Amino acid sequence: MRRIQNKVAESRWALPVAILYSVAVWLLAGLIQEQWWIQFGCFLLSAYLMAHLNNINVLIRIYSRMVSVSFVLLSTATIFLFSLVKGAFIQLCFISSLLIFYNCYQDKETPGWTFYAFLCLGIGSIVDIHLLFFVPVFWLMMTIIVYSICWRTFIASLVGLLTPYWFWTAWLLWQEKGSIHPLSDHFIALADYQVPVPLTFQQTLLLGLIILLGITGAIHFLRTSSRDKIRTRQLFYSFFIISTAAVIFLILQPQHYDMLIRIIIIAVSPLIGHFLALTKTKFTNIAFFVIIGAIFALTAFNLWISSSPF
């Protein structure tokens, strides 16, 4: 007999219900009153791209929407970040970059895909230059995960990163009458190391829950990875790398919490989604309810603390 966990994980209604739940939370948080339409649009597009990322890469070996459901539920819990346009846009750019990047798997003749993947990172870095922290991470993944590194793809990555800045430089030369000081100030901020500041209680709770879910999903995947295809394993190893790098960056520079917590959510969602979809024991069925209850409780707490109507 299938347990409730598995019925939910394999249900075609899981993602639509999660989306409706998230819409309700956004409305309660003040979507209409605060006019968060751009942020909400970025969230919906990000959820769609996560679903597409799961589908085309077959991250879970059975039919399940738990990767995108996990992303939607965890993103919905970040109510105190709903008002921030920059973070929402960067999250969308990062998912877009991953979606394109994985098309290069074991193919060194993909300078086009590599260009577009790094173009998304470059566009996101226009909004927040610190997204460039992840460029070496992507180069590392090109070398040991995707196996697409060669001089052509490396140059394509550089061109992709620089393309948005070529357009911005041209615009500055026209708009600022030859001055490119905003561009130089933008890059100087990359070297601006600040003394780490303590996270707030809300930020710590959310980060702690996501890290716990990530560790749970990682342990489960490492124990059962032999059942997955080699390509799937490699993609999950990339999620390990991204989440680990983001946590390290967050420890070193917690003032970039808005950007980094969203990237951690992107990387952790497949890990915990894999766990929820492919475990079938009585213990994991209980864990399923505990995890969902913890996310709902944290969402309710953040809604009570952060939303304008409350």
**Burial grade of 36 (CB within 10 A; 0-12, 13-18, 19 or more):** buried
Neighbour count for residue 33 (Cβ, 10 Å): 11
* Average of per-residue pLDDT across 207-226: 95
The sign of the torsion formed by the CA atoms of 196, 202, 203, 205 equals positive
The residue among 184, 193, 190, 204 whose CA lies nearest residue 261 is 204
pLDDT at 179: 66
Q: Express each pLDDT in 16-42 by its tens digit.
A: 999 999 999 999 998 999 999 999 999
Provide the 3-class DSSP secondary structure of residue 23. helix
Structure tokens at 100: 């394109």
Long-range contacts of 208-215 (CB under 8 A, 24+ apart): 209/77, 209/294, 209/295, 209/298, 210/74, 210/261, 210/264, 210/265, 210/268, 211/247, 211/264, 211/268, 213/70, 213/74, 213/268, 213/271, 213/272, 213/291, 214/243, 214/264, 214/267, 214/268, 214/271, 214/272
Q: Express each pLDDT in 259-287 by its tens digit.
A: 999 999 999 999 999 999 999 889 999 99
* Average of per-residue pLDDT across 202-208: 95
Task: Check if the beta carbon of residue 266 is closer than 8 Å to that of residue 276.
Answer: no
The torsion of the CA quartet 153, 156, 157, 161, rounded to 10 degrees, works out to: 180
With cut-offs at 50, 70 and 90, classify the pLDDT of residue 177: low
**Burial grade of 109 (CB within 10 A; 0-12, 13-18, 19 or more):** exposed
The residue among 83, 88, 117, 87 whose CA lies nearest residue 100 is 117
The residue among 263, 247, 127, 243 whose CA lies nearest residue 199 is 247
* Average of per-residue pLDDT across 106-127: 95
Q: Is the whole-model pTM more than 0.85?
A: yes
Q: Express each pLDDT in 57-92 by its tens digit.
A: 999 989 999 999 999 999 999 999 999 999 999 999
Task: Check if the beta carbon of residue 110 is closer than 8 Å to that of residue 243.
Answer: no
Q: Is the per-residue pLDDT at 308 higher than 80?
A: no
Structure tokens at 122: 């470059």
pLDDT at 191: 76
pLDDT at 1: 53
Q: Is the per-residue pLDDT at 310 higher than 60?
A: no
pLDDT at 16: 95
* Average of per-residue pLDDT across 96-113: 95
**Burial grade of 18 (CB within 10 A; 0-12, 13-18, 19 or more):** buried
Percent pLDDT > 90 in the chain is 81
For the chain, the average pLDDT equals 92
